[in-house]
Structure 1
Amino acid sequence: MIDLHELFREESEVLTRSQDVAAQTTLSAEDYRDALLMLNRHYQRLMRETWRMISRSDRAERELNRVNEQLQQLAQELEYKASHDPLTAVWNRGAIIQRISNTLIHGPAALIILDIDHFKKINDEYGHPMGDRVICGLVSRIQAHCPDAASIGRIGGEEFTVLLPHYRLSDAVIVAGAIHASLNASPLAVLPGQLVTASLGVSYGKPGSDFETLYNNADAALYDAKHHGRNRVFFR
């Protein structure tokens, strides 16, 4: 704890002496002048010290604000990295599962699961860097044909989900059909020499249903699509 008396000890002594001088009526003008000058010098010194303290406080406040801004930015970056896929920038597995579960608490939702057809062959023929570019190109194609309310997630590898809150099954099938048609209409820009197609499964969840049921139904529909030759849309 700061001892204020000790902190301002010298100023207190000067002030006491000045008060003693002021209380006397028999001193010479020179004595009064000396006391006033001493009081003035200490007052100026106190002003300079106060100004330096204020300046240091301002610098410290500015530095603290800068550090707080950096911490907030770092927290946002960490939160983003914890919830997004580093390659495609869509929601990662944990984050999209949580979003699906939260959505079903408040209302119905439809889910699309998309799996790239023969993706291993692309990696084998062109290498994994090209495989990564194909994945990113395909995500861009999905985003171009999804409504603003959709949440796209990467479940793993070449498998993606599209969450459609408050969508009926028939409307979700239309979205899946648009994605499917787009992939068959033209090659991805990163691999112009061939089409990159996908198999899609669609399901619907009522309010209060759970992620596992919604996902398993879409996954079963995806299996049907693959079983019937891939590059098609099935729903359950």
Structure 2
Amino acid sequence: MFHVPSFVYVIGLISLLNGVILVLLTRATNNALRGIQAWAGGSFLVGVGFVFASFREVLPETLSIILPYLTAALGLTLYYRAVRQLLGQPEKDLRLWAGNLLAALALAYTTLLAPDFELRTLLLSGWLGALALVIGLNLSHGGPHRHDYVRFLSGVGFFVLGFLLFLRAAFYLTPFGAAQRDFNATGFFQDAALSGVLIVSTLLTFSYALMHIERLTSTLGWQAHMDGLTHIPNRRSIVERLDLEILKCGTDSTPLSILMIDSDHFKDINDTYGHPAGDRTLQALAACMQAHLRGSGTVGRYGGEEFLAILPGVSLAGAIQVAGRLRAGLKECLLAEVEESLVVTVSTGAAELLAGETDGAGLILRADDALYAAKQAGRDCVRPEREMKGG
């Protein structure tokens, strides 16, 4: 059996240590992890509450009962806020703060004005359990990355914490819990509940940090392969994809073509409408290309206003047809959101993989030369590599 005040004190110190670890993590990542500060604050509040609770025999009830309950409620509320920040959801929830206010009033009434152990335990443990369940629901069901097992297990952890708090309220209201209503009384349930709170709270803090690290790793991976402006593959990613498709073609003996697509007079768009309008134009073009090529090819931003489209299983003749449909489709793109009077056209060069060609460098060069030929021909047109060679 545990010495309850000492064990509660240890729980408080560990919670404070968890907060310190998260503060150090925040500084190490230059505040790149959303919600870490709120979670650290929650750990500090919970830790302070447990430390004050451990001195219940020495401190007045205001500090040994009311303060621990309040800091626990506020700490769980900050945990809730941290989870919402992690998931990119709205952080403010007036219902939680209203619940905290009512819980504080009930706590003051049942401790100072009309002391009632049973009612206080029912109301406050029930409220803390409800907060834990709400956090568990958010982790289990809200936001992106629904199949993140760490997040799911963290949600389960909060469900366990909520269950322990509800069980505590129910247990102390039964005749079996009468002997353990004394804070210092030891027993199986008291020890099990305290052990559960210690284990679950510590594991939740580390799992929260792990969720952030995984999310940061995923974000860095996305940034390494995707263009931040247009949200399509960047140059590195699209070239790597081309090399993979070339390997597949060598194995399957199927054709492969690419399109080099360039927005005409893009500098004039920037000069006339401003760079923000130019950025929105690139975003609109990228979205239109993705929509028209979905299922038949992949498009990436090769650089500036130039895009590279990969067409597996498509010959040069087929690529010219795809480029024509794409060119017509881009003209129908709704660019009124950028500027009502804006008209955008594109020039396109097409090239097909040659027999024995093992990488994309030569293929890209030929498509780029064909694109140059399209520019020379007056823009707003498609030119294949053979036409460029013949000219």
Would you say same fold, with TM above 0.5?
yes
Q: Quick check: which one's strand share is greater?
A: 1
Asked if residue 129 in structure 1 is aligned to residue 276 in structure 2, the reply is yes
1:217 aligns with 2:366: yes
Structure 1 residue 84, shift from structure 2 partner: 1.0
Match 1:230 to one of 373, 376, 379: 379
Matches within 5 A, 1:122-201: 122-185=269-332, 188-189=335-336, 190-201=338-349
- Is 1:64 the counterpart of 2:212 in the alignment? no
Could you list the per-position Cα deviations for residues 61-103 of structure 1 after superposition, in whole angstroms to 9, with x for gaps in the alignment?
A: 2223322222222211111111111111111111111111122
CA distance in 2, matches of 1:147, 1:170: 19
Pick 1 or 2: higher relative contact order, CA cutoff 8 A, min separation 6.
1
Q: 1:147, 1:70 → 2: CA distance? A: 32
Q: Secondary structure at the match of 2:335?
A: coil
Bigger CA drift: 56-65 or 76-85?
A: 56-65
Q: Give the drift of 1:123.
A: 1.1
Q: Deviation per CA, 1:30-52, whole angstroms, max 9, x where unpaired?
A: xxxxxxxxxxxxx9468755653
Q: Which runs of 5+ in 2 are unaligned?
A: 1-184, 250-254, 386-391
Residue segments in structure 1 that go unaligned for 5+ positions in a row:
1-42
Match of 1:92 among 222, 230, 234: 234
TM-score, scaled to structure 2? 0.46
**Structure 1: how far apart are the matches of 2:294 and 2:191?**
63
Q: Which moved more, 1:75-84 or 1:103-112?
A: 103-112
Change (3 A) 1:47 1:144: closer
Structure number with larger C-alpha Rg? 1
SS in 2 for 1:79: helix
CA drift at 1:142: 1.6
TM-score with structure 1 setting the length: 0.74
Q: Aligned letter for 2:242?
A: I
Q: Is the 8 A contact 2:260 2:309 kept in 1?
A: yes
- Shift, 1:134, TM fit: 1.4
Name the CA distance, whole Å, in 2 between partners of 1:186 and 1:62. Answer: 48
Which has the larger share of helix? Answer: 2
Which deviates more from structure 2 when the two are superposed, residues 95-104 or residues 54-63?
54-63
For 2:224, the equivalent position in structure 1 comes to 82
- Alpha-carbon separation, structure 2, partners of 1:95 and 1:227: 29
* Number of equivalences: 194
**2 CA distance for matches of 1:109 and 1:229?**
27
Would the aligned equivalents of 2:288 and 2:333 in 1 still touch at CA under 8 Å? no
Task: Report sequence identity in percent.
Answer: 34
